[in-house]
Amino acid sequence: MANPQELKYTEEHEWLKVDGDSAVVGITAYAAEKLGDVVYVELPKVGAAVVAGTVVGEIESTKSVGELYAPATGTVLEVNDAVVSNPELVNDDPFGGGWLIKISITDLPALLNADEYTALTGE
């Protein structure tokens, strides 16, 4: 699955769709594939403060447990309850219905573009 050009990426395999001072966050198709079948997703609570580069959640699969890192500093505006109820959405639609959180951004560190992320993963 190609990495959408309009998104920004982290080296920890999160993607961001930035819209003004907020962003929708998820994990990339590459990360979802490496995790395997996702069976559990733990997300931060709405209103939680998040700091770029820190762990804010957990994604468990049949193969391993992965951590969700905040790609930016800010406050959680929304969580995707659908992925908590149906974790397989992360595998089925990582760049769409499998999004994880929406945050208001107070600080956005330098991120990768799609080409840089593709070069990082080799895919």
Domain 8-107 belongs to what architecture?
Beta Barrel (2.40)
Residue 18: strand, helix, or coil: strand
pLDDT for residue 123: 80
CA triple 109-51-23, angle to 5 deg = 60
The count of other CB atoms within 10 Å of the CB of residue 64 is 10
pLDDT for residue 82: 97
Q: What is the pLDDT along the chain (123 residues), one digit of tens a residue?
A: 789 999 999 999 999 999 999 999 999 999 999 999 999 999 999 999 999 999 999 999 999 999 999 999 999 999 999 999 999 999 999 999 999 999 999 999 999 999 999 999 998
Per-residue tokens: 29: 């198709």
pTM of the entire predicted model: 0.95
DSSP 8-state secondary structure symbol assigned to residue 11: T
DSSP 8-state secondary structure symbol assigned to residue 62: S
